[in-house]
């Protein structure tokens, strides 16, 4: 009996732990500090709360840096007519314009992609709908 009461007390305490807040995009990313990255897409995670792209970008000296690019929720993309997660193919080269993370890390919020066939996919509307205030 005491063990079950103890377990229930631990569960109750754990379930009241604070939940981290979802911050506006502009709190983490600087919309005035955009950068265009060109590299090989290594992974796409089409999951909530944000679509993520991982990209390996090579600099002029041949050094490869991995970038983590975040976007709106999958539902925001579907509302814009981008419903298939296979629109993005790993192993192909893309150019991505991103709003850079305020902390200086290799993390950005997607503004637009130039697809391997040259088409541009402007995702600024999703950025604005996530809370940029513009």
pLDDT tens per residue, the chain (134 residues)? 545 443 333 334 443 433 344 556 777 899 899 999 999 999 999 888 889 999 999 999 999 999 999 998 888 888 877 766 668 999 999 999 999 999 999 999 999 999 999 999 888 765 455 544 44
Q: Alpha helix (H) ranges present in 16-114?
A: 25-28, 74-79
Residue 118 zone, left/alpha/beta (φ > 0; ψ -120 to 50; rest): left
Q: How far is CA 129 from the centre of its chain?
A: 14
Smallest CA-to-CA distance from 111 within 21, 37, 55, 59 is with 37
Res 39: pLDDT? 98
- Helix, strand or coil, per DSSP, at residue 10: helix
Q: Tell me if the pTM is above 0.75.
A: no
- According to CATH, what is the number of the domain 29-132? 2.40.50.140
Domain boundaries, given as residue ranges, for the chain: 29-132
Residues 43, 39: Cα–Cα separation, whole Å? 12
């Amino acid at each position: 009996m005491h063990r079950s009461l103890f377990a229930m007390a631990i569960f109750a305490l754990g379930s009241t732990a604070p939940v981290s807040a979802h911050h506006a995009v502009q709190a983490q990313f600087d919309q005035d500090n955009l950068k265009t990255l060109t590299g090989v897409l290594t992974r796409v995670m089409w999951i909530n709360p944000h679509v993520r792209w991982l990209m390996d970008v090579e600099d002029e000296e041949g050094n490869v840096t991995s970038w983590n690019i975040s976007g709106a929720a999958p539902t925001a993309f579907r509302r814009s007519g981008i419903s298939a997660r296979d629109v993005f193919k790993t192993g192909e080269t893309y150019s991505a314009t991103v709003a850079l993370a305020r902390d200086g890390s290799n993390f950005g919020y997607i503004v637009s992609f130039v697809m391997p066939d040259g088409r541009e996919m402007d995702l600024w509307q999703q950025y604005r709908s996530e809370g940029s205030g513009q």
